[in-house]
Every structure is written in C-alpha cells, then in structure tokens.
Chain A
Amino acid sequence: MGIGTSMKETTLHYYRDPLVEVLSEDRDVNLRGIVIVGSPDKNEDKYLSAERVGVSLECMRVDGAIFSCNGIGNNHVDFAHAIEETEKRGVPTAVLSQCPAKDFVVQNDHLDGVICYYKALDRMDQPGDETKMLAENTVTETDARKALALLKLKMRKWEEKG
C-alpha cells in the first residue's frame, strides 16, 4: 500500500493546513512547532526515525502531541512505533489516521487516541479504500478540532493520574 490520490495532502493543503490553524488559534494551547518525519521503506529505518520522533518530543518537554498520517498500510509500522515511543516518554498523543487503530498493520498499547478521518464509508467497503477523488479523504477543520479536544482530555487525564 502507500498513498492514493484521495489521501493526498497537496502543497495547497500544507499551505493552509487546518491542523496548524486550529492549534494556533486555540487559547488553551501553545503550538510550539511542527515535527515533520518521512516514512521510510525499510523496517530498520522506520524504527530509527520513529524512535527519534519520541526522543525529540521528550527533549522538547511538551505536554502533548497530535500525530497525523495520510498514508496507509506499511506507513503505520513507523507511525504506530513513533506514537509508542512518544507516550512511553510521558507525552500523551491524539492521532489522526485514514483508518481506525484496529486496522493498523501493527498494534501496540498506545493507540487509544486514534481518530479515523476517512470520509467515503457511505459508498466504500472499509476505511482506507481508495476513491480516486483528489483529497476526498484528507483532514478537515472538524477533524483537527476533534483531535485537539481528545488531546486536551488525555492531557488532563494523564495529569490527574500523575
């Protein structure tokens, strides 16, 4: 698998990314930055880059992170691992994904924050099915707001738990 046209975030999407705008405008959080990580081909590279994401966030001492991935299939190997490496280091996550956590090709104990943003379930069989319509299944402002709401909840729960 990989990335189909309906999952594609275009250059225009990056230019006016709803996730960046929603987090910038919110009065409860400071958006400290955006970590961009490539999804490699080989497993060895996937594990290394995913671990570096976790370490980077630990060093930044942030209170929480929203993860977003537009690909599917093997992309989730490094994606799931990066989430695990981040939460293991004490940073809670909310996660935007093309499919629900149960459909990830790998599993771990840190995928409770996954929100599926697939939008064509009314005519396709399962989340992640390619519709061949440009950007149909990409993150919208509503998806970004859901992820931020979940992250706020999780940050509070983790804080209470100590």
Chain B
Amino acid sequence: METGTRLTVRAYHISSLEYGEENRVTLDGHMTVCPSVAEKIREKEPLIKDISIRIIRPDEHDQHTNTVMDVIPLSTKVLGKVGEGITHTLTGVYVILTGVDEAGRQVCNFGASDGILRDKIAWGRPGTPLESDLLISFDVVLREGTWADRPGPEAIHRACDVFCQIFREQMKKFNGYKCTEKHVFQETYEPGRKDVVIVKEVSGQGAVYDTRLFGNEPCGYEGGRSVIDMGWMPVVVTPNEFRDGIMHAMD
C-alpha cells in the first residue's frame, strides 16, 4: 500500500466570546475581541472607508447584515506547510466577512444576501456555521465604485486576514495535549481500488468572482495566488492540502 502525506488537525472549542481590551484567544475556550483594532487595519487599506468588528451571538440573529462575502474558520499551521504536519483550528466560532460600498452597492457578483441575518444564511451547511455557533462579524465599507475591480474586494479579504492572523499567532502556541478534538488524516492508496479525482471548477472572472490558492496559512489570503493570475490552468492538490485550507473563496 502506498501512503501520502499525514496531517494532524487539533481542534480547540470556543465556548465564550466577549468584548475586551485586546484580541485574545486562550486554551480554555475563551475569546475576547477588541473592535478598535479595525481602525489600525483600515489605515493600511486606502480603498476601505470603514471596518466594524462585532460579536454576534446565537440569540442575536435578528439583525441587519450586508451581503456575506465569506465564512472563514480560524486555523493556523504549527508544524509544516498547508497539507502536512500539524494544524490548530478553532471550532464553535467563525468569522463572517461582509461588505458594501459607500453608495450602498453590496460587494457580490449577483444575488446579494443583505437583509436579516437569520433569514439570509442556510445554517448548518458545509460552508455555513450552525445557528448555535458564535460569530465574529468583520463588516467593511469600500470607497464608492471600488467593488467592481479586483483591488477593492481583495482589500477586504486582505484586511480580514490581518485580523484573523492576530488569533492565529496565539493559537500556534496552544498546548497540543489540551485540544478538544484530534483528527489524523493519513493519505493511503490501496491496491485494487479505483483511482479517482475530483475536478472543481471555481470562479475566475474578475472582481468578487475569483478564487485564491496556496495561502501561507490554512484558509488564508496572504501569500496566495489568484486562479486568474495563474491563467485558469488546472492545478492538482492533494486531499490533505485541500482539507487543510489551501483554498480561499473570493466570489
């Protein structure tokens, strides 16, 4: 039997999320969010007019949301590169990235999901949180008219990635023995089985219609390449690279 890469994912469950004076995640499942960090992130992004960071608890879904651009798990590499080694990830909490421009245009290709949050997410899908999950809303207002070219939406994803990285750096230092769940993915190729591949066609036609691969961190933006810049050519990744977050949705 042939074997491929081995990936260990240690999950840490977050049970409480509160506002605090710093952005902090601790091993005991406690997380604090400091919304004022938004201003520091915004200063480096000229296309962004405003960023607001908020906590949304499961009983607070009856509130307005701008269109959801992405749902991002907080994951980081502890050993090795994306697709092998050890990853630390948080469960029970997800970052919800939303965006609008100054003129009120929702940052999406078409069919915006702005409205009352409760009604605008199909909860519990592979790509969405459970209704009982804690959410960190990262809501961005772009300068007028900048949503339609790639630099606008890219600035939004980059800014959100800077915010996520604050927590990732802390998660790297978590004690591996104290995780709430541990999953080991050993790729094996057994004789006598059919060899199959998955072909995923992903967005690649411009602003809010793009996909990134190969970020430095799992599910990350920084260090990644757009499929547009790679000339839309097919790229092969291993199952472990894929499940370790080699993709970042940009559509």
Question: Which residues of A are at the interface with B, using a C-beta cutoff of 8 A?
Answer: 1-6, 8-21, 23-24, 27-41, 45, 48-49, 52-53, 56-57, 60-71, 75, 78-79, 82, 86, 130-136, 138-141, 151-152, 155
Contact = CB atoms under 8 A, between A and B. Distances in A.
A35 B211 CA distance: 14
Contact of B213 (A36, A64, A65, A86): A36
Contacts of A151: 196
A133 B120 contact: yes
Given A16-B243, A135-B125, A39 B120 contact: no
Interface of B: 67-68, 70-73, 75, 94, 108-113, 115, 119-122, 125-129, 185, 188-190, 193-206, 209, 211, 213, 218-219, 227-228, 230-239, 241-243, 245-249, 251
A133 to B, nearest CB: 5
Given A4-B110, A10-B71, A35-B236, A63 B196 contact: yes
Contact of B189 (A16, A17, A32, A136): A32
B196 A8 contact: no
Contacts of A63: 194-196
A84 B94 CA distance: 39
A121 to B, nearest CB: 15
Closest 9 A/B residue pairs (Cβ)? A38-B204, A13-B127, A4-B111, A38-B227, A130-B111, A38-B232, A136-B122, A10-B127, A14-B247
Contacts of A30: 188-190, 193-196
A85 to B, nearest CB: 11
B7 to A, nearest CB: 11
A11 B112 CA distance: 17
Contacts of A136: 122, 125
B205 A41 contact: yes
B194 A8 contact: no
Given A29-B195, A134-B122, A35 B235 contact: yes
B239 A37 contact: no
Contacts of B227: 36-38
A66 B245 CA distance: 20
A160 to B, nearest CB: 14
A29 B122 contact: no
Given A14-B245, A38-B230, A133-B122, A56 B201 contact: no
A138 B202 CA distance: 13
A8 B249 contact: yes
Contact of A6 (B111, B188, B213): B111
B63 to A, nearest CB: 15
A71 B72 CA distance: 20
